[in-house]
Amino acid sequence: MLMSIVGAMAQLPDLKFPTRFVTERNAYAPGSTVKGVLLLDIRSPYHVNANPASEEYLIPTELKFEQSKAVREVKVEYPTPLEKAFEFSEGKPLKIYEGQVLIKFQLKLAAGMKPGKLNLPATLRYQACDDKACYPPQRLKLTLSLTLAQKDGAANPEYEKLLKQSEGDTRKLKEYSSDAGGLASLLQTQFREGRWHLMVGVLYIGGLALNLTPCVLPLIPITLGFFSMQARGQRGRRAGLSALYALSMAVMYALLGTVAALAGKAFGFQFQNPVVVGVLMALLVLFALALFGVYKFQVPPVLMQYVGARQGWLGAIMMGCLAGIAAAPCIGPVIAALVPIVAALANPTLGFLLFFALGLGLGTPYFVLGLFYERFQNRLPRAGEWTILVERLFGVLLLAVALYFARSLLSPKLYAMAWLVFFVLVALYFFAGERAMTQPRVVRFKQLLGALFLLLALNNGYSLLRPKVHVQWEPYTEARLEQARREGKPVIIDFTAAWCQACTELEEYTYTDPRVVREAERFVRLVVDATRSEDENVQRILKQHGVVGLPTVIFIGADGQERRDLRLTGFEPADSFLKRMQQVR
C-alpha cells in the first residue's frame, strides 16, 4: 500500500509553471509607486483556479508580497477569468485561468531608502487542474527585484506591450448576447447550486401533460395493440418491454439535447442571426397551424403497423422511437423552445437531463399502458372537445414562443406592443372562437382562458402607459471618477451604445425597476457612450477599464478598487442586478 502511494506521488506531473515579474519602469525613486505584472505561463492541458474560485473546495490563485518596511499599500488585481466545464466538475462551469496569465500589482515604496538593489519576497499559490482532476496546490517562492535610483527610470516597453495584449483591441467592440443572465443563466445557476431537481421535475410533468393532446392520443390504441401481441401472461417480460418502450422515447429526446449542448456556442450563436430566427419563427407558426387544425401531421399508418408487428426488444425500441416522432406536432413546440436554451448553456449533462426528463414524462404513461394493458383496453380516453381545447391552447403557447424569438428583431417598445396585440387577439379567440364547442364545462374553461389572456393584455397595457422611473446617469469624466474616490463613494460605470440591443434592454427593463433605482442612489452613476467607438477619447476610456464588448457594467467600491468579480457583460434582469449592486460597499 505504502509503495503504491509513493509510486503515485512519483508520477505526478511537474506543475511548477514559469513565472516572471515585469515592471512599468527600469528604476524607481524612493517613495514612488511601482506598477507591474506577474507573468504566469500555464502549459497545456492545465489550468489554474481563478480568484475568487468558483467552489469552496477549490484553491484560488493568489499572489502575496511579504510584509516589509520598504513597501506599503500593496494592491493585487486578478484578470477576468474564463468559464469552462470539466469532467471532474460534473458539467458545472468553473472560473479558471489558462495560457498566459497577467496578474497586476501595485505597491508604494517607502521614502528615505538608499539607491541600490531592493529584493521583495513574494509567494504565488495556485492549484493546477486538467480536464479530469485537480492536483495538490503549488506554492512558489518569488522575488521582485527593483533598482532604486535618485529619480524614476525610463518606461519599460515590454510592460506596455503586455498590457495592450491583455486588454485586446477595443476598436472592434463585440456585442454581448441579450440572453446573458436570462433563462439559460438561471438554469445554469440552479444546476451549479444543486437545485436541478426542480427544473427536471417541471419538464417531466410537462411531458406527462403532452399526453393530453390529440396528436398523442392516437398512439394509445396502437401501443395497446403492440403489447397485446407481446409476452401474453408474462408480467416480468412485459414490464421489461414497457420500460424499454418508454426509455427509447426518452433517450431519443435526450440525445437531441446532448447534441445541442455539445454544439454549444457554435449552435447557439445561430439564434442571433436574423435569417435563422426568421426561419425558426416560420417553423413554429407552421407547427401552430397544425395544432389549430389547419392541416394534420402524422406518421404514415402503414409504417406504424409494420413496426408494430415486430416482436421482442427490437420491436419495443422501434415503437418507442416511432411514437416519439409521431408526437412531433405537440412535442415540436417544446423542443423548439428548449434547443436554443440548451445550446446557450453548452452543458451536455444539463442538456441530457432536461430532454430526458421531457421524454420520460411523455413515455411514462406508455410504460403503465404496456404493463396493465388488459385493464385499460376498454377504458381509453376518447378525443373530444376537451382534448381539442388543450390542443388549441398548445397552439397559442407555440405562437407565444415564436413571438418570444422575435425579440431580437424588434425594438423593446415595439416588442412590448406586439405582446399587447397578441394577448388581445388570443383573448378574443377564446371568447368568440371555436363556437362548435358546446359542452358546458369546456365552454366555461375556454372563457376562463379568455379572461386570463385579457388580464395579461391589461397588465401589459398598463406597463406600457405608466410613467417609468429611470436610473439617472451623468457623463463619464476622469475628474468625476476621482472625486468619487476621494469622497469614498461607490461607482457604477455603464458602457453602452445606440447599436447595442442588450444595452437597450438593460435601459428598458433593468434600469427602470424601482428597487434598482433606489439602490443606485448611493452610487455615483457614470455612463460611457461608445456608439462611436473609433473616437480617441472613447478608445482611451475603454482601454483604461479593459472593456472589449458591450454592454459592460463595472462596479468600483468605496475603496476605489473595481470589483472584478461583479463585472457584468450582457443583459441581466433586475433581481439579479440588484443582488450584484448590494455586494458593493
Per-position DSSP letters for 38-93, written without gaps between them: EEEEE-TT-EEE-SS-SSTTSPPPEEEEPP-TTEEEEEEEPPPPEEEE-TTTTT-E
> Residue 113 phi/psi, 5° resolution?
-85, 150
> Residue 21 phi/psi, 5° resolution?
-85, 140
Does the pLDDT value for residue 95 go beyond 80? yes
Residues 176-198: what's their mean pLDDT? 52
Confidence band of 344 (pLDDT split at 50, 70, 90): low
Which strand ranges, in their side-by-side order, compose the sheet holding 116-126?
Answer: 62-65, 116-126, 138-148
- Cβ contact 581:516 at 8 Å: yes
- Please tell me the predicted confidence (pLDDT) of residue 144: 92
- Please tell me the predicted confidence (pLDDT) of residue 309: 46
Dihedral sign from CA coordinates of 9, 17, 123, 100: negative
Q: Which CATH number fits domain 474-582: 3.50.50.60, 3.40.50.920, 3.40.30.10, 3.30.1330.60?
A: 3.40.30.10
Beta-strand relationship, 524-529 and 491-496:
parallel
SS3 532: coil
Other Cβ atoms closer than 10 A to 262:
16
Positions of CATH 2.60.40.1250 in the chain: 2-167
Q: Say which CATH topology domain 2-167 has.
A: Immunoglobulin-like (2.60.40)
State the angle between helix axes of 440-465 and 385-405 in degrees (0 to 180), rounded to the nearest 10.
20
- Please tell me the predicted confidence (pLDDT) of residue 3: 36
> Which is higher by pLDDT, 272 or 60?
60
Positions of CATH 3.40.30.10 in the chain: 474-582
Residues 143-152: what's their mean pLDDT? 90
Dihedral sign from CA coordinates of 478, 479, 485, 490: negative
- Please tell me the predicted confidence (pLDDT) of residue 205: 84
d(CA 541, CA 316): 64
Residues 522-545: what's their mean pLDDT? 86
* 158-170 confidence digits (pLDDT tens): 888 888 776 654 4
d(CA 390, CA 190): 30
- Please tell me the predicted confidence (pLDDT) of residue 11: 45
Beta-strand relationship, 138-148 and 82-85:
unpaired
Who contacts 446 (Cβ-Cβ below 8 Å, separation ≥6)?
Answer: 389, 430, 434, 437
Least confident among 117-126, 193-202, 281-290, 388-397: 193-202
- Please tell me the predicted confidence (pLDDT) of residue 186: 52
C-alpha cell at 402: 415564436
- Cβ contact 291:285 at 8 Å: no
SS3 542: helix
Confidence band of 524 (pLDDT split at 50, 70, 90): very high
Dihedral sign from CA coordinates of 323, 325, 330, 334: positive
* 437-461 confidence digits (pLDDT tens): 888 888 898 899 999 999 999 988 8
* 9-43 confidence digits (pLDDT tens): 334 567 889 999 999 999 999 989 999 999 999 98
pTM, two decimals, is 0.47
Does the pLDDT value for residue 214 go beyond 60? no
Residue 64 CA: distances (Å) to CA of 122, 162, 325: 6, 21, 60
Does the pLDDT value for residue 259 go beyond 50? yes
Closest CA to 245 of 233, 237, 256: 237
Least confident among 272-286, 335-349, 525-539: 335-349
Does the pLDDT value for residue 147 go beyond 70? yes
Closest CA to 564 of 99, 52, 143: 52
Dihedral sign from CA coordinates of 428, 434, 435, 439: negative
